Structure 1
Amino acid sequence: MNPMPELIPMLKQLRLSGILDSLEARNRQAIEEKLAYTDFLAMLVQDEVARRSQRKFAMRVRRANFRNHKTLEEFDFSFNPNINRALIMDLATCRFLEEGANLLVVGPCGTGKSHIAQAIGHCAVRMGYDVLFTTQTKMLGQLHAARATNAYERRLNALAKVDLLIIDDFGLKPLRTPQDEDIHDLIGERYERRSTIITSNLDLNEWGDAFPNKLLGSATIDRIRHGAYSLLLDGKSFRAARPLPKYPKNEVAENVKKGKN
């Protein structure tokens, strides 16, 4: 007697329909290996747990809104050998999230700030944390739009509660009022409760220059830097321009002449 017609609706009712994906294969394996009923059941349950974990992981990655797929496995530490690899690998354990500490990643353009920030975010996602990657400009734009529709508090609370918030390109554009107040309120809500990664091209002692209200900026930066880990990047840019092809002088002149014609 085939139990499948009765089994399928019951599994769906129990929200275990994913078991159907591996049921047939596991049933053949159990027959071939003469497994006990409990071993057969254990395999089905393990498959279901793995499926749900993968589904949750994929959902967290989508919610994180990473700019692109950047991991530590893909990062070329040999390109700039002075990068503090030991600190980065320690941060990848995500212990700083348990501390509620921030991470400040500072350095010139193209030295890998966004890559490292997103890679650590990926590590956090793998460990079950909720992560959100955004830029200063995008985040403040969303808060501004939310204020216009009376949804500011809801949006601020959502940003405040995410386990790990990554703000890329802080200070790339000077803040205006009330943007400086929005940053201050957000940092205040997350202070010593949730971890924030902030990347910036500005030196840490220049961050205050991004705020039009210096007193507000000083209070905000004081909270950001308190107990924070600092990762200073320096060296060559990963985005260095490729060298132009070299042509013989007469060929260059010919190409210029053709371009004019």
Structure 2
Amino acid sequence: MIEQTLSQLRQLKLTGMAGALQTQQEQPGTYQGLAFAERLQLLVDQENQERQQRKQERLIRTAQFKLKAHAQGIDYQHPRGLQQAQMASLLMCDWLNKNQNLLLTGPCGSGKTYLACALGHQACLKGYSVRYVRLSRLVLALTQAKADGSYSQMLKTLANFDCLILDDWGLEPLTAATRNDLMEIMDDRHEQSATVIISQLPTDQWYQAIGDNTLADAILDRLMHNAHRINLKGESMRKKLNSLTQVEHLG
């Protein structure tokens, strides 16, 4: 009977319950003293835990993070102006509930992308859907979507992510088509979801970088309204790491 029950649980894709039931059968001394309701609760708890884990893994795969970053790996010792209290607050993910944005600026190598990916990873662990993409790749994908007729569907997909992370903002000049695309994306997401912008340019140069006064006003108004800001400074962390590595090799 137990084998039949295990088979049925697996057919129903209740693999967590199946695994927990098998454990109970293999360790009778541990579980035989428990009431039926208690043993049943253990099965349900294990099923719920496995489903949560699978969901987190699926969300992380879908996010396509550039870096395998996590909250525990954030470096607060490097002098770059990163405030631990602010990061602790952001890692709680309440800003996602409030559909607020995050503007991450700083020089090359200051760790902007790592911080954004760490925040995105934390969001996935809490059940939020996240997507990371470099702006140049997004522009290319949108151009292809226009050509094959899937543009509207792609805009809808982007709008549905709880958190959209756009890297390399302002790195290349924007075309008229790209400005219009960004306007569509920001308008869809405004006060509906959260957007993270990563840029080497300080925010006071974004207006000029967009290149069209009317669209710049509209895009930045939607981005900067109620946005959190992290402005990193100092020497490149990659440069410091390379220097340390060379010293170690010399030693």
TM-score, L = length of structure 1: 0.87
CA positional deviation for 1:81: 5.8
Identity %: 32
Partner residue of 2:138? 139
Once the 2 structures are TM-superposed, how far is the Cα of residue 138 of structure 1 from its aligned partner? 1.1
Q: How far 1:187 sits from its partner (Å)?
A: 0.4
Q: Which runs of 5+ in 2 are unaligned?
A: none
Query: Aligned letter for 1:89?
Result: A
Q: Secondary structure at the match of 1:178?
A: helix
Q: What's the CA shift string for 1:20-76, capped at 9, x where partnerless?
A: 323222224344452222222111111111111111110010011111211121111
Q: Is the 8 A contact 1:104 1:231 kept in 2?
A: yes
Separation (CA, whole Å) in 2 of partners of 1:223 and 1:10:
51
Supply the distance in 2 between the matched residues of 1:107 and 1:127 (Cα, whole angstroms): 27
Match of 2:185 in 1: 186
- Residue in 2 that maps onto 1:48: 47
Deviations 1:132-171 (A, max 9, x none): 1111111111111101001000001110111000111101
State the 1:18 CA deviation: 3.6
Report the residue type matching 2:5 in the other structure: L
SS of equivalent to 2:166: strand
Read off the aligned partner of 1:108 and give its amino acid letter.
P
Range with bigger deviation, 196-205 or 80-89: 80-89
Shift of 1:14: 3.3
Instruction: In structure 1, give the amino acid aligned to 2:193.
Output: R
Does structure 2 retain, via aligned residues, the 8 Å contact 1:114–1:168? Answer: yes
In the aligned structure 1, how far is the partner of 2:231 from the partner of 2:110? Answer: 10
1:63 aligned partner, one-letter code = T
Name the CA distance, whole Å, in 1 between partners of 2:205 and 2:28.
Answer: 65
Q: Deviations over 1:165-192 (max 9, x none)?
A: 0111101111112011101110011111
**Residue 27 (str. 1) matches residue 25 (str. 2):** yes
Determine whether 1:58 maps to 2:54. no
Equivalent residue for 2:92?
93
Distance 1:81 1:133 in 2: 23
User: What is the aligned-residue RMSD (CA, Å)?
Assistant: 1.7
Q: How many residue pairs get matched? A: 243
Q: Quick one: structure 1 residues 236 and 63, their matched pair in 2 at CA, closer, same or farther if it must change by over 3 Å?
A: same
SS at match of 2:237: coil
Answer yes or no: is 1:7 the counterpart of 2:5: yes
The equivalences for 1:51-200 within 5 A come to: 51-80=50-79, 82-200=81-199
Specify the code of the residue in structure 2 equivalent to 1:65.
Q
Rounded Cα–Cα distance in structure 2 between residues aligned with 1:138 and 1:14: 40
Contact 2:167/2:199, CA 8 A, preserved across alignment = yes
Letter in 1 for 2:52: S
CA distance in 2, matches of 1:32, 1:162: 44
Higher mean C-alpha deviation, range 65-74 or range 29-38:
29-38
SS at match of 2:131: strand
Deviations 1:98-124 (A, max 9, x none): 211111011111111111111111111
CA distance in 1, matches of 2:38, 2:26: 13
> Could you say which structure has the higher helix fraction?
2
- Structure-1 separation of matches of 2:135 and 2:230: 19
The alpha carbon displacement at 1:13 in A equals 4.5
Deviation at 1:129, TM superposition (A): 0.5
Whose radius of gyration is greater, 1 or 2?
A: 1
Letter in 1 for 2:224: R
Residue 118 of structure 2 aligns with an amino acid whose one-letter code is: A
The 4+ residue runs of structure 1 with deviation greater than 6 A are: none
Range with bigger deviation, 39-48 or 234-243: 234-243
Matches within 5 A, 1:208-223: 208-223=207-222
SS of structure 2 residue aligned to 1:70:
coil
Equivalent position amino acid for 1:190 in 2: R
2:235 maps to which residue? 236
Counterpart CA distance in 2 for 1:29 and 1:73 is: 36
8 Å Cα contact 1:26/1:44 also seen in 2: no
